[in-house]
Structure 1
């Protein structure tokens, strides 16, 4: 019962953080969209995409390994923390030099119209991006989701406040947006180091570098890393192809549609973050199967409901948040929704498989889906524009869903309806929750 209560509590706190973060992020996005316009927002998205891409490509799964091995309880926490910090500096330096190559040799192909100085500036923040993520996953591994959520929320809040100051008050335009992004990472790092010391008694100089852990973490992490790289490309390769075939303004319009559609992932993301270390710590297959089945089917139902609402209100949402300049993104949003809904369940299953140590399954399937996504985008974007990118993404998410569902069933033996369709026990659970809430309301 204790584990069940802590899972619900951690999931709820993470969900609250995700909702708050989404609201803050949405306000930031609206601010940038309205003050910079579609062209300016598209350029900002491409500028920040470079550092995000480099981080995604070169983190080598160290963060994921941290949460997994902490859950296993086989390595000292101080050794993991120390090893993570040193790894972050090394990987940050490597990605920085790779970024220089990209900027000087491929600037015109993918970043045409964007000043090289912006791109070079974002490269400087790379080591901090690595350290932020590697420290945050330590909190995830020990299931300290209070600190984990504070760190995630602080990043978004800092970017918003600095954006208001530099873009709205001082009218620095895209300069203000870029500096707000950079400042957000620096503040997040300072607070992360402070919380690690205060809550976990982990100082930067504490512990020792563990070569054996580093080697083991790479063995596990590389598989997760390749899967995450492919997943990230699945989400973002469309933006690069749109930039290549159309222009930065189209990237800005498409980016808004994607951003709204991905809000449906709020529940699956929140629960997945808690599910991964919990599945890693469970020893019995029955416990893992039962927990993932309950989570998967209820997340899918909720995602369908929210997806229908988004579909019906898509025109209104785009106009309200971003204005007429972005209304062409409404159809792109509608075409994305089916794939996003299926992706909610895929995220749950993927984290379950990683928690069982079967991370290579996610890696292999990601190769298939990314290859499909790239081919479909290259075919559809020149013909259908941003709507083609949305359609390509939905087909890809659907393929990923069906592959993962079949594999999960074969690995666990759990019938399809048990982890895809809600049943009587779920409605009974809803009834108990409503009853508890009504009692509390009456007491108030």
Structure 2
């Protein structure tokens, strides 16, 4: 039997591997897709993805962390079945609503086909949402990761051949559906083989009272999620409204490149959280110092790689993307600094959770949404897609740094984040850490 600590470490490793592997596939095949179809068609595809992304508002009515509180050795399949039913039903309703709306508003033909196949993809993905949550609960991310990576490799290979044989952009969405269907089969097989073989036939029931209870417990997390989702998707919708699909395609490339820069943040958060919790319970002074040193190291590393990455992107971009995407270089250069502030504030959610001071985080997210919308309305008409990137940077600065100085419970983390920009402190403490390890 593996120790819990070892299982946690291995789980984190598999999650990191999944992110890196899929990001690399998306990056290399994504370049081919963007260059082949051009900024306008690629922008239409990105716009369709942004619209479908709003369906997560309904899926998150039941938060994944709340679901995990209900699992027991006896009822896990009941929970899994009800979550699959709940989310799958919502995705099916969205699919039907899209078809009805097309009869009323008559969408652009290509956009409609993209929306239909992307919403069908939602149906296939949500069919295993309960199983995936249960695998996460059991610290068995490996099962999801292996399934994802096998399917993604097949899907992206087919997409690549589709580009070679000059298939239209709807083909990309069709292939995603095919990949999700394969993934559904693999994950369902793993679940049944591993957990259901030894417990006989189960009479599965829909339990509306259980779902209502979960929804009620999830309501504050749901409100926070809505604000976050709208905030992260608003710029794309507004770019399409003010500037058109071509500009949205260019902006999307800059965003995709910035997501590569952010790849270290989530694994760092997950890896340091257990250490934070342990020190907080033992000695607050040690906890505070560890938080300060960790945050300083993260910030200083991101300070360095932010500037280096901007130089690399400026130099190498012309060798990778076609000329029509050149505007994405400036977008990346601006968004890279928003990633810097994201890295600087990456540990604050752990700190707030441990100290049980998360209540006001919803108001921070809501304020971010309002600020972002206002800035986009002002800056996009004046500065184009660069205005959208600046709006994101300013919003991240306010939400993850500035506003915390004005909230008493969050002032401590704001001061830590401010100190983390001190390069002299970084080198002094780095030397001290090395000395302590050498003793």
1:69 aligns with 2:64: no
Measured against aligned partners, the alpha-carbon deviations of 1:225-247 in whole angstroms (never above 9, x if no partner) come to 33223222222211111111112
Distance, in Å, in 2 between the alignment partners of 1:186 and 1:431 is 54
Partner residue in 1 for 2:423: none
Q: Answer yes or no: is 1:161 the counterpart of 2:157.
A: yes
Taking only aligned residues, the RMSD between alpha carbons, in angstroms, comes to 3.9
Distance 1:231 1:425, change over 3 A: same
Whether the 8 Å CA contact 1:67–1:141 is kept in 2: the answer is: no
1:390 equivalent in alignment to 2:385: no
1:286 alignment partner, one of 274, 281, 303? 281
The 3 A distance-change label for structure 1 pair 64 and 35 is: same
Partner of 2:266: 269
Alpha-carbon distance, 1:424 to partner: 7.1
Q: Indicate if the aligned counterparts of 2:25 and 2:156 stay in contact, CA closer than 8 A.
A: yes
Structure 2 counterparts to residues 34-433 of structure 1, below 5 A: 34-54=35-55, 56-66=56-66, 68-69=68-69, 76-100=75-99, 103=102, 114-154=110-150, 156-168=152-164, 170-201=165-196, 209-211=206-208, 213-272=210-269, 286=281, 290=287, 293=291, 296-350=295-349, 353=352, 360-402=359-401, 410=409, 416-417=415-416, 421=420
Between the aligned partners of 2:245 and 2:135, the Cα distance in structure 1 is: 37
**SS state at 2:341 partner:** helix
Range moving further from structure 2, 227-236 or 380-389 = 227-236
What is the CA distance between 1:286 and its match in structure 2?
Answer: 2.5
Asked if the contact 1:158/1:184 (under 8 Å) is kept, the reply is: yes
What per-residue deviation string (whole Å, max 9, x for no partner) do you get for residues 393-440 of structure 1?
Answer: 01111112126855998279679439974687766778999x9xxxxx
CA contact (8 A) 2:124 2:184 kept: yes
TM-score calculated relative to the size of structure 1: 0.80
Inter-partner Cα distance in structure 2 for 1:208 and 1:133: 17
Residue 61 (structure 1) shift: 4.3
Q: Secondary structure at the match of 1:16?
A: helix
CA distance in 1, matches of 2:245, 2:148: 28
Are the aligned partners of 2:405 and 2:411 in contact in 1 as well (CA < 8 Å)? no
Question: How far apart, CA to CA, are the structure 2 residues paired with 1:194 and 1:316?
Answer: 47
> Rg: which structure is higher?
2
Question: 1:100/1:173 Cα in 2 relative to 1: closer, same or farther (>3 Å)?
Answer: closer
Provide the aligned length of Structure 1 versus Structure 2. 425
- Partners in 1 of 2:176 and 2:115 — Cα distance? 12
For residue 264 of structure 1, report the CA deviation from its aligned partner: 2.0
Q: Partners of 1:259 and 1:288 in 2: how far apart?
A: 41
Q: Deviations over 1:141-186 (max 9, x none)?
A: 2222212433443453343122113222x32121321212222222
Distance verdict in 2 for CA 1:89–1:409, change over 3 Å: same
Aligned-pair distance for 1:312? 1.6
**Unpaired stretches in structure 1, ≥5 consecutive residues:** 436-444
Q: Is the 8 A contact 1:158 1:183 kept in 2?
A: no
Once the 2 structures are TM-superposed, how far is the Cα of residue 136 of structure 1 from its aligned partner? 2.3
Shift of 1:132: 4.1
C-alpha change, 1:50 and 1:373, in structure 2 (3 Å) is same
Asked if the contact 1:380–1:389 (Cα under 8 Å) also holds between the matched residues in 2, the reply is yes
Secondary structure of 1:62's partner? coil
For the Cα contact (< 8 Å) 1:242–1:381, is it kept in 2? yes
C-alpha deviation, 1:33, in angstroms: 1.0
- Once the two structures are superposed, residues 172-220 of structure 1 have per-residue CA deviations (whole angstroms, 9 ceiling, x without a partner) of 1213212122222222222222232344448996765555542342233
Question: Against the structure 1 CA distance between its residues 371 and 428, is the aligned structure 2 distance closer, same or farther, given a 3 Å change threshold?
Answer: same
